[in-house]
């Protein structure tokens, strides 16, 4: 276990698992709560306390300083050559040119299915597209490559369930990136483009290196805001 991971584990233990410092009690936690802001809902900025409970001193510092900004990471796939049931598009990385350079808070994940054909009556296109997004038969898996990595959606799951099962905030480390696979469980009527969008909050500041160094961020939290993470 590296030094940064030991710090992450210690912060999680202190702020999320108790260890004598349950959220809302103790001087450090009261300080953390005082710079909260909106928290807990889809798309809202996470609070300092929430970010500390997830083990991220770097994001907590950025939130306390007010330099968290929203941005999106998108994975795009197109069912084009094979539209039959069982067609699979495996292991697709995000299509963004700029990759994750520092820890990011994932506020939520959404998706969009775009039909590249026509239902016959142009006036019916909006209704068709709306219902197709719920009844397409397209399923996906999702894994986090890199370290520490993981498999948030290990088995093929209906893509329409994505917003409801992945709506809890979590931290994507700068050493991780998402990878999705897609499969059509029924014949698709038209060429279909699939977009999975990760709604993120990440630091935007000239102090980029600071937001990649958890121990320096922990020291800055204590010095600037009196938040002692106990490490």
Query: Picking from 76-90, 111-125, 128-142, which range would have the lowest pLDDT averaged per residue?
Result: 111-125
Residues 198, 95 share a domain? yes
pLDDT (mean) for 143-148: 85
**Alpha-carbon torsion 77, 81, 84, 90, what sign?**
negative
Supply the mean pLDDT for the chain. Answer: 77
Residues 220, 178 share a domain? no
Which residues lie closer than 8 Å to 227 by C-beta, 6 or more apart? 28, 31, 32, 48, 52, 60, 64, 221
Residues 52, 87 share a domain? no
pLDDT (mean) for 127-156: 87
Q: Please, are residues 219 and 207 in contact by the beta-carbon 8 Å criterion?
A: no
Q: Say how many C-beta atoms besides its own lie within 10 A of residue 189's C-beta.
A: 13
Does residue 17 have a pLDDT over 70?
A: no
Name the pTM for this structure: 0.75
pLDDT (mean) for 26-38: 40
Nearest residue to 63 via CA among 169, 173, 217? 217
Query: Picking from 32-36, 132-136, 166-170, which range would have the lowest pLDDT averaged per residue?
Result: 32-36
What is the residue range of 133's domain?
68-204
* Residue 2: band (very low, low, confident or very high) from pLDDT cuts 50, 70, 90: low
Helices (H), the chain: 3-15, 27-33, 48-53, 57-65, 125-135, 162-165, 214-225
User: Residue 121: which CATH number?
Assistant: 2.60.120
Distance CA 101, CA 69 (A): 14
């Amino acid at each position: 276990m590296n030094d940064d991971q030991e710090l992450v584990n210690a912060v999680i233990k202190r702020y999320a698992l108790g260890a004598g410092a349950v959220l809302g009690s103790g001087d450090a936690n009261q300080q953390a709560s005082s710079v909260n802001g909106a928290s807990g809902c889809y798309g809202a900025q996470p609070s300092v306390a929430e970010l500390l409970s997830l083990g991220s001193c770097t994001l907590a510092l950025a939130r306390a300083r007010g330099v968290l900004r929203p941005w999106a990471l998108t994975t795009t796939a197109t069912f084009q050559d094979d539209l039959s049931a069982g067609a699979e598009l495996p292991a697709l990385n995000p299509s963004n040119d700029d990759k994750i350079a520092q820890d990011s808070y994932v506020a939520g994940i959404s998706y969009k299915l775009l039909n590249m054909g026509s239902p016959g009556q142009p006036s019916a296109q909006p209704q068709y597209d709306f219902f197709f997004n719920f009844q397409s038969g397209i399923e996906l898996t999702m894994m986090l490559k890199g370290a520490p990595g993981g498999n948030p959606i290990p088995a093929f799951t209906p893509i329409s369930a994505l917003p409801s099962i992945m709506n809890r905030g979590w931290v994507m480390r700068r050493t991780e990136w998402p990878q999705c696979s897609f499969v059509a469980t029924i014949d698709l009527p038209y060429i279909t483009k699939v977009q999975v969008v990760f709604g993120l909050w990440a630091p935007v500041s000239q102090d980029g290196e600071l937001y990649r160094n958890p121990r320096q961020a922990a020291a800055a939290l204590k010095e600037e805001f009196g938040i002692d993470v106990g490490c």
